[in-house]
Structure 1
Amino acid sequence: MCYKFLLLILLPALAYGNVKIKIKGTKNITDASVQFSGKEKAIISEEERQAFQLDDESLKRASKIFSGKRCTDVFLKRPTPWVDVYRKFGWKEIKRTLKPVQARIIGINVKPVAIATAEYKNNQAAYTVKHKAAVKQTVEETVTHTWNISKELTIGKDFSYTIDFGKGNTGGKISLSHTSKWGNDTTKERKITIGTKSSVEVPPGDVVLATLVATQVTMEIEVEYEVTVAGHVFCNYQNGYRGHQWWAYPLWLLQKDGSLPTLVKSSERISIGFYTNMRIEFSDLETGAVVKTVDAQIIKVLDFDKN
């Protein structure tokens, strides 16, 4: 039987993107922290022009406010008519840059769970029986990403996510890594088998209950991203302007004078869940008294993207 626990995971393996989110912790789960790094750059798409209101009319209007004369045509990237002005004059095409700017843990829930049980009986009346005990169970962990973004953004890159709680926890190292595409609401799953082998002595006529228990941690994380654009806007003046037909204006100046948005924000909610402090508790079935505790561990992993 496979028990399914919502392992509410953040935090994007395959080909790693330039943006990385890492959740680090210690033996004390509440000391966890979120680290982020990297940025993703690309030539602006037509959809992203809409997000920043960089349509032709808005840019032409801004060119008049900035220079005093309205241009005839505007271009933000290759290809351009006439010649490749961006290459010829060393102008920079408009690029979109996305980067994480803030990450925080907004909630942690920790609870003990019983994953599996087994009974060991001694039907003898006169002497203690020693049983070999092996308890294991497969559970399912789920990683969930939920996004709040502008529909016009077209990042489409894999982000890297790592959860690392080191070796300080009972039950071994807790480490998960996977990738997920930016902006896609996704759920990823992996199966892990938890357990161990041991032995237990059962007194005459008694029954010992072996319970595989663990601490289930669910963690909610929020990551905020900012998207900006920069480069040169190629303005063509059909009848010339101040002795030249072609001009390159820094985009930020046109944004300023045209009152155009300079920043688009988005956010990601990551739900993380994992197991730690895994162990088998042997207890007297009748009284409930614990007679022995043995550490358990993850003995098999079918990782993300391999199910």
Structure 2
Amino acid sequence: MKFHSFNAPDPNAPNRPLVTVFCAVWHKQPNKLELLRSHWANLEAQSIPVEPCYIFDNGDQAPDWLEAPWYSFDEPLTIYEAWSAATALSHTKYIMNLNMDDRLATNAVQTLVATADATNSTLVGGEWLVNFDESHLEQKFGVEDLWETGFSADWPPRKQANLRLGSGTAERGTYGPATLWNLEQVGQWYPSYFGNQSPIKSIGDSIFWQMLADKNCKFTRIPMIIGRYYSEEGSQAEFRPHKDNDHLRAHGISLISFANFVLSGDYSKWPGLNPEAVAPEAGPRNRIEQASDKLAAQFRAMGLGAQCAPQMASMQ
């Protein structure tokens, strides 16, 4: 395993941005270059400077026009390995993720940072308007109130106008598809593997929130729409089949993160060297199993029940 850096920022430069916004550019992502172009434009349009961090995998290279910082790993990565790599490669006070097909309001990062500073929070999340097409990808919009939106607990979301996700309002157990957290408090780390070294595939953000909650970190929700969340059941990681809940119950979480390998440069114990065997997915065999699968999907949508706590603590 090797990675190469391009347009890497100088961590000692004066007047550095306060926030790194990272994105995993998965090598199998359809129309990834079109998504990347509008994603970068969305970050450039932010009302305060942000430092992009794009993680490419499987040896993929960025197009010549991408002048933002980017890193290419020569092996395939899971989404949470890529997120973990971003934490290792970032040197700003705050960090946040933004998926390839989601978009932030132009003053969203500024709002999140101001809230984190004012409330002394470790992690801040806001509300998201759900989009079922790609019309939001190149839109510019500001942070908005919730007056004309409605919430439905269905997961995956069912198409309807002005549907909010429920993350910033606590109607759903999640804190976002994208959250901002204090990297100085949390450290350069993100959950990547279960205790048996199998990779986390779908519930890494819920695990992360729960681990911070267990450390009594302070969370704050903003009941304002800070972005547009794209929902497409057939193509997104959160809807793909996985055994994460089974692994979590049976093995717990490994405290070794992919960030540890990136920071040390030693990949000799990287679980990706011996990837887990992929068993064929068997569909539910009867109505009881169908109901069980539906209930499990609802719990995945709710996260692991992280609650706000009054004190902060470091993960380091």
Q: Please give the range of the TM-score, normalised by the shorter of the 2 chains.
A: under 0.3
Question: Higher strand fraction: Structure 1 or Structure 2?
Answer: 1
Which has the higher relative contact order, 1 or 2, with Cα contacts under 8 A spaced 6 or more apart? 1
TM-score normalised over the length of structure 1 = 0.23
Q: Quick check: which one's helix share is greater? A: 2
Larger Rg: 1
TM-score normalised over the length of structure 2: 0.22
